[in-house]
Amino acid sequence: MVLRVTDVEALDGYRLRITFNDGAVRDVDFAEDLARAAGTLAEPLRDLDYFRQVRVDEQLRTIVWPNGLDADPDVLYPKKQRSGSGDDRQRWPGTSMAATPSVTRSANNQRVSPTVGSVGGVTLVIWPDDHDPPHVHAIFGTPNTPRARQSRIAIQTGNVIDKPSSRTLPTAKTRQVQQWIAQHRDELQARWQQLQI
């Protein structure tokens, strides 16, 4: 089953009650994530009134705020209820731009990428020590599965680096990512430089 958010309710402070399409309900406290969110798309959410404007986007099927920040349902889901979920990603993709990037290895020795944002259900990551030109990997769907779609998009120009295929992002998703990159180009350039060790 593809995991989706069906309902969200603002609780006290920076806590949300999130309901998933399988009936699971999770109370998530974003206070710690917001404390690390300086200079990112998540920063406006420090204003509690703005934070409470969260809603479920009917197309994305996840939570989203007015500035376009959304969160991957797989990251929000109660880990102990997911089989095989050793996932220790930040639950909130938008906060990672402010965090000191840490490149770790997963249990199967795969590198874990720093997430720099999320838009329209597409997760955006920058791999450390990646090749030029500076670019983001835009991933739609669960990585390393047959249905996952991925494209590399240049930060400076917004051009798609990959040749179109059945594995690259659909055109509409590509446009959303290109618009997001254009709005966050300076942050992404700085993050690219920071990760190229």
Q: For the residues of the chain, what is the DSSP string, one character each?
A: ----EEEEEE-STTEEEEEETTS-EEEEE-HHHHHT-TTSTTGGGGSHHHHTT-EEETTTTEEE-TTS-B--HHHHS-GGGSTT------S-GGGGGTSPP--EE-TTSPEEPPEEEEETTEEEE--TTPPSSPEEEEEESSTTSTT-EEEEEETTT--B-SPP-TTSPPHHHHHHHHHHHHHTHHHHHHHHHHH--
Residue 74: what pLDDT? Answer: 72
Residue 71: what pLDDT? Answer: 79
Residue 18: what pLDDT? Answer: 92
Residue 94: what pLDDT? Answer: 37
- pTM tops 0.75, yes or no: no
Residue 144: what pLDDT? Answer: 58
Task: Please name each of the domains of the chain with its CATH number.
Answer: 5-71 (3.30.2020.10), 100-195 (no CATH)
Residue 131: what pLDDT? Answer: 82
Residues of the chain with pLDDT under 50: 80-113
Residue 15: what pLDDT? Answer: 92
Answer whether 138's CB lies under 8 Å from 122's CB: yes
Residue 9: what pLDDT? Answer: 95
Residue 39: what pLDDT? Answer: 57
Residue 109: what pLDDT? Answer: 41
